[in-house]
Amino acid sequence: MKTRQLGRSGLEVSALGFGCMGLSYAYGPGLSRSAGIQMIREAFNRGVTFFDTAEAYGVLNEEMVGEALAPMRDQVVIATKFGFRNGTASQGMDSRPEHIRAVVETSLQHLQTDRIDLLYQHRVDPAVPIEEVAGAVKELIAQGKVCHFGLSEAGVDSIRRAHAVQPVTALQSEYSLWWREPEHEILPVLEELGIGFVPFSPLGRGFLTGTIDQNTAFSSDDFRNIVPRFTAEARQANQTLVEAIKHMASIRGATPAQIALAWLLAQKPWIVPIPGTTQLHRLEENLAADGVVLGPDDLMQIQEVLTGIPVQGDRYPAHLAVRSGR
């Protein structure tokens, strides 16, 4: 697989990373520990060197990553996140410096490593000045426990203020064919400051693969049950976009997922999407997007389609939307 640098940081990773959240969190029952470890290793064997987890995804998630990658630790980049009280998103934010330090010590144990390659603040904490957060991470970098600092779903002001204290290597936020808000303000600032961009949910939480429609039933513990964009009505309305992507994919001998990922890769050379999956054939399909090259005419055609088909439904319920863009 090709590699990319996250901004001007010098951190080199595979052009496509692997988002580990869904292995055990948010999208239903997930995989067993052994199956999750095997999936991570399958990704590595196919060229992935960039793996994403978080304290908030649960102890099992970080432990899967740590055990899976221990044998090839020096060949991979491991990213994890801090920022929630007791590591639980529903309990609210906590980015106090002392909490950051405690989370890092625990994550190092779970990940079976002596350093975290990329440490993200999971969400901006309005109760703690971002300068204090950046300062705490700067100290951890000086101690060798962290290598790079990242932010997730942060707004322009927070990015600039944090970057002034400790250079930000990457911003992780949602970005895809059906959520393009980062193009307005975020991407220009990242380019100016030399910060890489790591889009999560690059396949629209699975919707852009073309395998979900208005009749799809999610398990009771699947996060999509509370997402406005995934109501049956919204899914039916948004099917028009998927059909257009399917058409473009068929012409190019690709799949809708590959078109969606190739489109992201074509936006900027410092963008590294992190699709996740629990299925080996989907992993292979996603990674093959690295070989799908969209030219100017392709991108123009996609732009015309996106302009003509507005996406229906908010990407988060109101109580979660307030955490983003601070």
More confidently predicted of 193 and 222: 193
**What's the token pair of residue 106?**
């625990």
Local structure of residue 9 (DSSP, 8 states): S
- Global pTM reads 0.96
Alpha helices in 180-252 (DSSP H): 186-193, 232-252
Pick left, alpha or beta for residue 95 (phi over 0 → left; psi -120 to 50 → alpha; otherwise beta). Answer: alpha
Pick from 21-30, 173-182, 193-202, 266-275: least confident:
21-30
Give the mean pLDDT of 293-316.
Answer: 92
Q: Are strands 77-82 and 146-152 parallel, antiparallel or unpaired?
A: unpaired
Residue recorded with tokens 């899967």: 64
* Segments of the chain assigned E as strands: 3-5, 12-14, 18-19, 50-52, 77-82, 116-121, 146-152, 168-174, 196-200
Cα 300 to Cα 113, 203, 266, 273, 307: the distances in Å are 45, 20, 12, 21, 11
H/E segment holding residue 100: helix 97-110
Residues 6+ apart with CB under 8 A from 118: 6, 11, 77, 78, 79, 80, 147, 148, 149, 150, 169, 170
For the chain, give the mean pLDDT. 95
Q: Which pLDDT tens digit goes with each residue over 97-124? A: 999 999 999 999 999 999 999 999 999 9
Q: Which residue has the tokens 């039916």?
A: 236
What type of residue sits at position 53? T
Domains (range + CATH), the chain: 3-204+266-292 (3.20.20.100)
- For residues 97 and 131, the answer to whether their CB atoms sit within 8 Å is no
pLDDT category of residue 26 using cuts at 50, 70 and 90: confident
DSSP 8-state secondary structure symbol assigned to residue 75:
G
What CA–CA distance (Å, rounded) separates 196 from 174? 14
Kindly tell me if the per-residue pLDDT of 239 is higher than 90.
Answer: yes
Distance between CA atoms of residues 82 and 103, nearest Å: 7
Phi, psi of 60 (to 5 degrees): -60, -40
Which residue do the tokens 């994919």 mark?
249
From CA 119, how far away is CA 164, in angstroms rounded? 17
Per-residue pLDDT reduced to its tens digit, 126-160: 999 999 999 999 999 999 999 999 999 999 999 99
Q: What is the DSSP letter of 60?
A: H
The confidence band for 29, taking pLDDT boundaries of 50, 70 and 90, is: confident
Contact (CB, 8 A) for 269 and 8: no
61 vs 31: CA distance, rounded Å = 10
Catalytic residues: 57
Tokens of 150: 């990242």
